């Protein structure tokens, strides 16, 4: 198979982990006989420094003509005081909108090898496996007006939470379709006791549910959901929610894997290239120290293999290699037990890559004797 992949490393640890996804994909190409071509584009703070904009037009064109996009992370203290429209994060929001990436799928699974690093008790997290389906191109992030203003002679400010009913319907429908392939349960999270948008969200979920008689629908208020995620994560199968609630709840859910550095995501479009990104940010506090966990980024590449290219065996090979390396005891500082030795970002990437290639060598030997 031949595929073109746009790589947008971005800022901070984004630059350190994006290379990891590329080298793992190169190993997959080598092992399974695929030709992946990588073309690099700029986004975020680096693009502001070089070109004066967080999302250059050529990056948008590159993404649109590629088969899939890999993104590291954007942002950092250097750009924090810029006006909103010039911030690195604006580049990320705009590429999501330009590519029509309306759904962000964030799987959260229990890992035996990192369980002891979670602050949650083993019996609470063991076997937890959920998928957060986050709406990605609407809600408070994109509503107009969003501006500083004046009211009664005073400084004031407004952000707008806006959704078209069709935008609510398509994300909830996708959640039901995904639940059909999983444990057939959708938890729709909202704030329907306060927000009109949430009441429409809830009504829409009820309407969509009629088309999926095998899937159980429950509604949960977001404040309760934040608590239940920690108290009883195994309660959840597919959790669907609007943009900002999904952003917050998925960082919270990462705690059951032991680290934010473990969680991948796929940002899905209805009509073009999908984008794959870890859920974490540019982590300025650990930038440049070779200690960032590359697993979230590498597992995002596995999601790309499965979702964009239909390469199930290859995706599983990446996931298995990650698990094998973690089980062998090689861990970055965020997932290592206190006092245990750690490996650096680059070493972790090399080990995962070598495991992918070694597993093939072992398979070849076994085939010789079978
Ligand atoms: P963050 O996700 O960058 O970091 C939060 C905490 O998690 C930090 O302590 C960090 O060291 C740790 N962490 C994150 N990823 C890790 C990894 N792979 N390995 C080990 N530890 C990891 O969030 P923040 O500090 O609130 O934000 C920093 C910048 O990143 C901000 O500018 C923010 O806007 C941006 N951001 C970007 C994205 C993105 O590009 N998708 C996502 C979130 C935040
Ligand atoms: C994420 C990030 C982004 C978001 C920011 C950087 C715009 O937190 O991808 O989760 O809020 O969507
Ligand atoms: Mn976030």
DSSP code string of 6-44: EEEEESTHHHHHHHHHHHHHHHHHHHHT-EEEEEE---T
- Respond yes or no: is residue 251 known to be catalytic: yes
> Where on the phi/psi map is residue 276: left (φ > 0), alpha (ψ -120 to 50), or beta?
beta
Domain identity same for 37 and 123: no
Closest atom of ligand 1 to CA, residue 44: 40
pLDDT, residue 361, reads: 60
pLDDT, residue 353, reads: 97
CATH number of residue 27's parent domain: 3.40.718.10
List the domain range (segments joined by +) for residue 97.
1-108+260-370
The radius of gyration computed from the CA coordinates of the chain, to the nearest angstrom, equals 21
152 CA distance to ligand 3 middle (Å): 35
Residue ID of nearest Cα to ligand 2 atom 11: 247
Closest atom of ligand 1 to CA, residue 292: 19
ipTM over 0.90: yes
Judge whether 113 lies within some domain.
Answer: no
Under 8 Å CB-to-CB from 188, ≥6 apart: which residues?
172, 175, 201, 202, 205, 217, 218, 219, 220, 240, 241
From 64, 97, 184, 251, the catalytic residue: 251
Judge whether 266 lies within some domain.
Answer: yes
Residue ID of nearest Cα to ligand 2 atom 4: 247
Question: Are the C-beta atoms of residues 292 and 16 closer than 8 Å to each other?
Answer: yes
Task: Kindly state the tokens that stand for 101.
Answer: 């990436």
- Respond yes or no: is residue 141 known to be catalytic: yes
Distance of alpha carbon 22 from alpha carbon 339, whole angstroms: 31
How many beta carbons lie within 10 A of that of residue 109, not counting itself?
A: 16
Task: Kindly state the tokens that stand for 286.
Answer: 């650990």
Domain identity same for 188 and 265: no
User: What is the CB-side half-sphere exposure of residue 217 using CA atoms within 13 A?
Assistant: 23
Distance of alpha carbon 128 from alpha carbon 261, whole angstroms: 17
Domain identity same for 151 and 181: yes
- Respond yes or no: is residue 165 known to be catalytic: no
Is 81 annotated as belonging to a binding site? yes
Distance of alpha carbon 263 from alpha carbon 277, whole angstroms: 9
How many domains does the structure of the chain reveal? 2
Domain identity same for 229 and 148: yes
Judge whether 315 lies within some domain.
Answer: yes
DSSP state of 337: P
Report the residue among 71, 280, 352 best suited for mutation to probe ligand 1: largest number of ligand atoms under 8 A from its CB: 280
- Mean pLDDT for each consecutive 10-residue tract of the chain (370 residues)? 98 97 98 98 98 98 98 98 95 98 97 93 96 98 97 98 98 98 98 98 98 98 98 98 98 96 97 97 98 98 98 98 96 93 97 90 61
Task: Kindly state the tokens that stand for 279.
Answer: 């859920």
pLDDT, residue 338, reads: 86
Domain boundary at 210, 233, 257, which?
257
Is 121 annotated as belonging to a binding site? no
From 49, 159, 211, 223, the catalytic residue: 223
Distance of alpha carbon 357 from alpha carbon 27, whole angstroms: 6
Judge whether 26 lies within some domain.
Answer: yes
Stated pTM of the model: 0.96
Residue ID of nearest Cα to ligand 1 atom 31: 75
Domain identity same for 16 and 44: yes
335 CA distance to ligand 1 middle (Å): 15
Residue 126: asked if its preceding bond is cis (omega within 30°), the reply is no
| CA torsion angle 64 307 283 89 (round to 10) | 30
Q: In angstroms, how far is CA 329 from the centroid of its own chain?
A: 25
pLDDT, residue 58, reads: 98
Alpha helices by DSSP H, listed for the chain, are: 13-32, 45-51, 57-65, 88-98, 122-125, 165-180, 196-209, 222-231, 243-253, 295-307, 312-327, 345-369
pLDDT, residue 370, reads: 58
Is 283 annotated as belonging to a binding site? yes
Domain boundary at 257, 292, 327, which?
257
Closest atom of ligand 1 to CA, residue 283: 3
């Amino acid at each position: 198979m031949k595929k073109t992949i746009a790589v947008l490393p971005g800022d901070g640890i984004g630059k350190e982990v994006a290379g990891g996804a590329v080298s793992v994909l190169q190993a997959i190409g080598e092992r399974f006989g695929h030709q992946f071509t990588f073309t690099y584009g700029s986004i975020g703070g680096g693009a502001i420094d070089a070109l004066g904009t967080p999302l250059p037009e050529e990056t948008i064109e590159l993404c649109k003509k590629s088969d899939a996009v890999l993104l590291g992370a954007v942002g950092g203290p250097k750009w924090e005081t810029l006006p909103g429209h010039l911030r690195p994060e604006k580049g990320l929001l705009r590429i999501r909108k330009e590519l029509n990436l309306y759904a962000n799928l964030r799987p959260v699974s229990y890992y035996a090898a990192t369980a002891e690093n979670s602050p949650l008790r083993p019996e609470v997290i063991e076997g937890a496996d959920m998928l957060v389906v986050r709406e990605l191109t609407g809600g408070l992030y994109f509503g107009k007006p969003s501006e500083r203003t004046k009211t009664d002679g005073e400084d004031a400010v407004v952000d707008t939470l806006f959704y078209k009913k069709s935008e609510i319907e398509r994300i909830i429908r996708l959640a039901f379709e995904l639940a059909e392939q999983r444990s057939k349960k959708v938890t729709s999270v909202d704030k329907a006791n306060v927000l009109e948008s949430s009441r429409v969200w809830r009504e829409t979920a009820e309407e969509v549910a009629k088309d999926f008689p095998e899937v159980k629908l429950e509604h949960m208020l977001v404040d309760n959901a934040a608590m239940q995620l920690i108290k009883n994560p195994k309660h959840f199968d597919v959790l669907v929610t609007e943009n900002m609630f999904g952003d917050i709840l998925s960082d919270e859910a990462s705690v059951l894997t032991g680290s934010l550095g473990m969680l991948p995501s796929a940002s899905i479009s209805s009509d073009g290239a999908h984008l794959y990104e870890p859920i974490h940010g540019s982590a300025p506090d650990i930038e440049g120290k070779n200690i960032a966990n590359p697993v979230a980024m590498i597992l995002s590449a596995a999601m790309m293999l499965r979702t964009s290219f239909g390469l199930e065996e290859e995706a599983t090979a990446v996931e298995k290699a990650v698990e094998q390396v973690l089980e062998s005891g090689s861990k970055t500082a965020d997932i290592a037990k206190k006092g245990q030795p750690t490996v650096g970002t680059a070493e972790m990437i090399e080990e995962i890559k070598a495991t992918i290639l070694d597993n093939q060598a072992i398979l070849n030997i076994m085939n010789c004797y079978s």
